[in-house]
Amino acid sequence: MNKNNKPKAQLPKGFKDSSEENIDIRNQVIAVIRNECEKFGFKNIETPALEYTEALGKFLPDVERPSGGVFSFQDEDDQWISMRYDLTAPLARYVAENYQFIPKPFKRYQVGSVWRNEKPGPGRYREFIQFDADVIGISNNYIDAELCVMVAKIFLELGFTASEFKVKYSSRVIWEDLFKKINLDEIQIPAVLRAVDKLDRLGTDGVKELLLKGRKDKSGDFMQGVNLKDNQAEEILDFISNKTTKDDQLNSFEEYLQNYKELPFEFDPTVVRGLEYYTGLVFEVELTAQILNDKGKEVIFGSVAGGGRYDKLIARFGKEDVPATGISIGVDRLVYAIEQFDKISSSKRPLIIIANLLSDQISTYLKIADQLRNEGYACEIFYGSSNLSKQLKYCDKRKASVVVIIGEDEMENNTISLKNLTVGKELSKNIDSREEWKELKAGQFTINKDELLAEIKKIFT
């Protein structure tokens, strides 16, 4: 192959690889969320990553081409197919397609990757994992409140205190009343809501710029404004600062929440959610705890979960209006926050590595490996260089807990040398010379061969 034609080993912009520790913490987070959802009666379903573009609908920011905001392609029948941009639109298709077979109300949860063909930035990826819980077939706003209680309990189970997060809520209905009052053109409504949804990132001045002519972002790119009149923009900004406007839906919602005064709920009219299919109550979870990054600057996590009522989404498929509500948790953002706050540690199974010092003793090493694996331990045999120093360096890079060493001396005496790398690291901190290290053999000891399992159990208990 021509050297100039070789591909670059690099990821596309807006995508990332995940480490073993990150995946382990993510799996723990998903297990907590899944468990709490099942306590509230939710059942798991899965839908595919690809859907017909028309089935997903254009609920992301409008652009000219049919694949705008999503990754799309045309199949052999010239139909547009897209990678799902959330888990709600595919659920609406699933419910419409299987309406006569599913129980009503229908309570489902789902976890999976979603994709957005949007401009990437710090902490903003084009692929991310969401966890959704939705209820189809209940119009009573108690169910919206129950979702918020459930998600609050999830955050408590993940180790956050009630002072470290808020579940904020509002209603699209009170916004619709405002839009009628200020004679807002219906075609401008989605753009206004998207502008207001950026308040936590852009502040009041940034939102005002978007409501008027537009603004430049940090990269210098110009974001087109809504071109409202000055008085319309001022009315919207006044409404944002006013926290007294309520409607019947909000009153019913808050009646339910009165039973959970220990949980951190807050009415905030600036909660509008960016997607266009919401029709009523909307809510989101915001992390309020502060943490400093490596440069000493405060990290603002903002919203890590959100949702709301979407009573007209299923009707797109020719059904009558079907009441529906749901909440979505941004798993990747949440995992990042959990790592920063050290709420959950990686609990991956400790690794035991068998050093391979004698080429003619592979059967011995295999028997020991099988013995350890049968007891539930993670174990591997090193198959590279027979140099012990190189093998120990490998063990260190793999963050192994224990090394099993069987060389000529051990074979002759029917013994096994164990090196507890965790203890060894601690002991080595107080050792000044190489000679002292050799003499102490930090964390290393020799046992009879038949004592292996008993000693391993001691190390891990």
pLDDT of residue 427: 43
SS (H, E, C) 218-238: CCCCEEECCCCCHHHHHHHHH
Residues 134 and 156 in one domain: yes
On whether residue 166 sits in a domain, the answer given is yes
Mean pLDDT of 174-189: 88
CATH code of residue 116 = 3.30.930.10
Residues 384 and 335 in one domain: no
Q: Does position 61 have pLDDT exceeding 60, yes or no? A: no
On whether residue 320 sits in a domain, the answer given is yes
Residues 156 and 274 in one domain: yes
Residues 319 and 409 in one domain: no
Residues 267 and 295 in one domain: yes
Q: Does position 319 have pLDDT exceeding 60, yes or no? A: yes
| Structural tokens at position 281 | 């109550």
Residues 332 and 364 in one domain: no
Mean pLDDT of 443-451: 90
Q: Which residue, chain included where needed, has tokens 């012990």?
A: 388
Cβ atoms of 281 and 330 within 8 Å: the answer is no
Mean pLDDT taken over the chain: 87
On whether residue 192 sits in a domain, the answer given is no
Distance from the Cα of residue 204 to its chain's centroid: 28
Give the number of domains in the chain. 2
Residues 158 and 71 in one domain: yes
pLDDT of residue 431: 46
pLDDT of residue 407: 92
- Choose the most confident range, by mean pLDDT, from 83-97, 181-195, 293-307: 83-97
More confident position, 429 or 59: 59
Residues 41 and 97 in one domain: yes
pLDDT of residue 252: 94
pLDDT of residue 434: 44
- Choose the most confident range, by mean pLDDT, from 67-81, 129-143, 182-196: 129-143
pLDDT of residue 424: 54
Task: Say how many C-beta atoms besides its own lie within 10 A of residue 146's C-beta.
Answer: 19
Residues 6 or more apart whose CB falls under 8 angstroms from that of 331 comprise: 26, 29, 30, 33, 111, 128, 129, 130, 131
Measured CA to CA, the distance from residue 357 to residue 9 in angstroms comes to 35
On whether residue 27 sits in a domain, the answer given is yes
Q: Does position 429 have pLDDT exceeding 90, yes or no? A: no
Among positive and negative, which fits the CA dihedral 59, 65, 70, 72? positive
pLDDT of residue 436: 47
Residues 405 and 321 in one domain: no
pLDDT of residue 65: 44
On whether residue 370 sits in a domain, the answer given is yes
**Pick from 428, 418, 424: nearest CA to 451:** 418
Mean pLDDT of 94-113: 95
On whether residue 364 sits in a domain, the answer given is yes
pLDDT of residue 423: 75
Where among 301, 316, 341 does a domain terminate?
A: 341
The predicted-structure confidence for 332-367, as pLDDT tens digits, reads as follows 989 988 988 888 877 778 999 999 999 899 999 999
pLDDT of residue 443: 77
Where among 294, 312, 341 does a domain terminate?
A: 341
Residues 360 and 280 in one domain: no
Q: In which domain, by residue range, is 21 found?
A: 11-174+244-341
The predicted-structure confidence for 198-242, as pLDDT tens digits, reads as follows 887 788 888 888 888 888 877 778 888 888 888 898 888 888 887
CATH code of residue 440 = 3.40.50.800
Mean pLDDT of 111-140: 90
Where among 305, 320, 341 does a domain terminate?
A: 341
On whether residue 142 sits in a domain, the answer given is yes
The predicted-structure confidence for 252-302, as pLDDT tens digits, reads as follows 999 999 999 999 999 998 888 867 788 999 999 999 887 766 677 777 777
What percentage of the chain exceeds 70 in pLDDT?
92
Task: Classify residue 330 as left (phi > 0), alpha (psi -120 to 50) or beta.
Answer: beta
Report yes or no on whether pTM surpasses 0.85: no
pLDDT of residue 64: 43
- 60-74, 81-95, 127-141: the lowest-pLDDT one: 60-74
Mean pLDDT of 402-418: 93
Residues 316 and 398 in one domain: no
On whether residue 396 sits in a domain, the answer given is yes
More confident position, 303 or 451: 451
pLDDT of residue 294: 63
pLDDT of residue 45: 96
- 81-85, 115-119, 368-372, 412-416: the lowest-pLDDT one: 115-119
Residues 397 and 452 in one domain: yes
- 103-112, 129-138, 284-293, 346-355: the lowest-pLDDT one: 284-293
**Pick from 245, 308, 263: nearest CA to 88:** 308
Residues 6 or more apart whose CB falls under 8 angstroms from that of 206 comprise: 198, 199, 215
pLDDT of residue 185: 86
